[in-house]
Structure 1
């Protein structure tokens, strides 16, 4: 086979040595030194798609998205068979990071995914008054693929935390849990995530349903993706508060009240557990466990924390004092808590409200 007039051969020994050494340096976090070696490898074998794939991968690790896009496009241009190639997935991530929606659509389609709104039609964006304005190609609009639920591991290289979210497209997840403050993330934020899952969560819906996308009594498996970086921040702060809830119904009422206001409350006392790294990266049931590890990472039990899952305590006993996270504006949070107490003052109370993220 000839590529650009050159007979394609196996990579040279120098190429393999430089590439292997580069990935050893990447494992040690020495990205600059690895970049020099991978650039040298690409100079040695510029006809080889792997040369540019490896450079695109390095730039992804460095979050240098312009370079990742450029190297990725050179990689896919040299592919013999492009359908399903991971080179296209890396191009899709880089394009999503850069909000290059036409390229993102092209990448996901080339990988083999069905992408809505890719028929080449034209959309119409109205002006402030609802009429007039510029016409935009549908391919220039952000993707909205709605791929269902999944979990994402925030801060995977630090104090990792697995939260549930809604997949907007193959590279973005909207966070539905209220992350702990140690993650530096907030409810409602959108994070860019990697393509290969690291771990799974299984969940069985209760007899009455209550979990979106899971039929009553059915067990579903959800992938856990690693966060790459924050894609869209949230302006909604995170608060921690100690509540007194005489019953689970009292606690559920606070969560429902926050949801009705367009925000969120989450009983961290029951929805968060600690797992060792090995367990976190394996297939784990999404339910409260009583075997707590002493390290790494936090794991939220329920997608979006709907319904009764994750609300039991060890031995089935209810403890009225709960530590809750609340995602709501400062102008609303105290009024929300006061309204919750006013609905049943004999069984509810709160104290020690603090903004933590």
Structure 2
């Protein structure tokens, strides 16, 4: 096969050695050294799409999106098949990071997805408005990882709908850029989440790459006294009606070891978008059998809650919640944590 006037051959031994060594360095976090080797490999075999795919992958790890886009485009120019190549997916992620919407549309379409708005009246320069349903994203995947639920805006972005724990450094309503290959799944058998009788709905868990759009809404932690679950639910409804969020972390957060977090785990009844679908905080060791379930059993009136609301609103929201049923509700120790 001739590509750009030359006969295509198998990659040389030097190319394979440089590439294998580069990925060993990537595993050790030595991106600069890996970059030198992958650049050398691309110089040795510039006709090989994999040379540029590997460079694009490295630049994605480094969050160097301009370089990732350039290398990705060189890779797809050398592809032999029209659709389904991961090279196009990497181009789509880089284009999304750069808000290069015409290229993002082209990439997803070339990968084989049906992209809304391609050639439509909105214009290819408009942001994607895809809404692919519920999914989960692992925040801080290389640190104190936490899996939260969100709404997929397109193949590379998720809007966070849980209130993350402060250790993640993320807030409710933020949009994160995520990788394309899931690492784990969550299942539910709730009526709203069953695609066919007897089969649970399965939601992928994607790893966050970086924050794409921050939220100006701070996260607060507060201890509440709620006589019943209905009292707790009333606070969450009140926050939602105000356009913000409250979440009973005592019920919604469960502790998982990393291995379990990255496997297929059942969740509570829900549709992957509900507040009480548990989100997971991962730890290196196995937390034991009690760590694999959200808090349950007998109702405890004292609850630790996360609230996402502006400083000017949060105290009034809590006071209004108490005023509706003062004998059954109270709060204390409000603190801004993120």
Contact 1:274 1:292 in 2 (8 A): no
Partner in structure 1 of residue 121 of structure 2: 131
**1:293 matches 2:283:** no
Q: 1:57-110 deviations in whole A, cap 9, x for unaligned?
A: 000000000000000000000001130000000000000000000000000000
- After superposition, the Cα gap between the structure-2 partners of 1:81 and 1:356, relative to the gap in structure 1 and judged at 3 Å, is same
- Equivalent-residue separation in structure 2 for 1:106 and 1:42 (angstroms): 25
> Greater CA deviation, 236-245 or 304-313?
304-313
Conserved in 1, the CA contact under 8 Å of 2:164 and 2:172?
yes
CA separation in 2, counterparts of 1:155 and 1:205?
29
2:157 counterpart of 1:172: yes
In 2, Cα distance between the equivalents of 1:92 and 1:109? Answer: 10
CA RMSD of aligned residues (A): 6.2
Superimposed CA distance per residue, residues 291-325 of structure 1 (whole angstroms, 9 cap, x where no aligned partner): 99999996179999999999997562000000000
Change (3 A) 1:151 1:10: same
Deviation at 1:287, TM superposition (A): 3.1
The aligned length equals: 337
Q: Between 232-241 and 297-306, report the one with greater CA deviation.
A: 297-306
Rounded to whole Å, the distance in 2 between the matches of 1:76 and 1:22 is 21
Give me the TM-score of the superposition, normalised by structure 1: 0.85
C-alpha offsets along residues 103-133 of structure 1, whole Å, 9 cap, x if unaligned? 00000000000011xxxxxxxxxx9999999
Alignment of 1:235-314 (within 5 A): 235-287=216-268, 299=280
Counterpart CA distance in 2 for 1:109 and 1:5 is: 29
Distance 1:47 1:227 in 2: 32
CA contact (8 A) 2:164 2:170 kept: yes
Q: Equivalents in 1 of 2:197, 2:92: separation in Å?
A: 35
Alpha carbons of 1:293 and 1:32: their partners in 2 closer, same or farther (altered >3 Å)?
Answer: farther
Label 1:60 to 1:296 Cα distance change in 2 as closer, same or farther (>3 A): farther
**CA displacement, residues 262-314 of structure 1 (integer Å, 9 cap, x when unaligned):** 00000000100110000000000113999999999961799999999999975
Q: 1:305 to 1:108 in 2, by over 3 A?
A: farther
Normalised to the residue count of structure 2, the TM-score between the two structures is 0.89
Structure 2 CA distance for partners of 1:246 and 1:219, relative to 1, 3 Å: same
Question: Contact 2:224 / 2:329 at 8 angstroms: preserved in 1?
Answer: yes
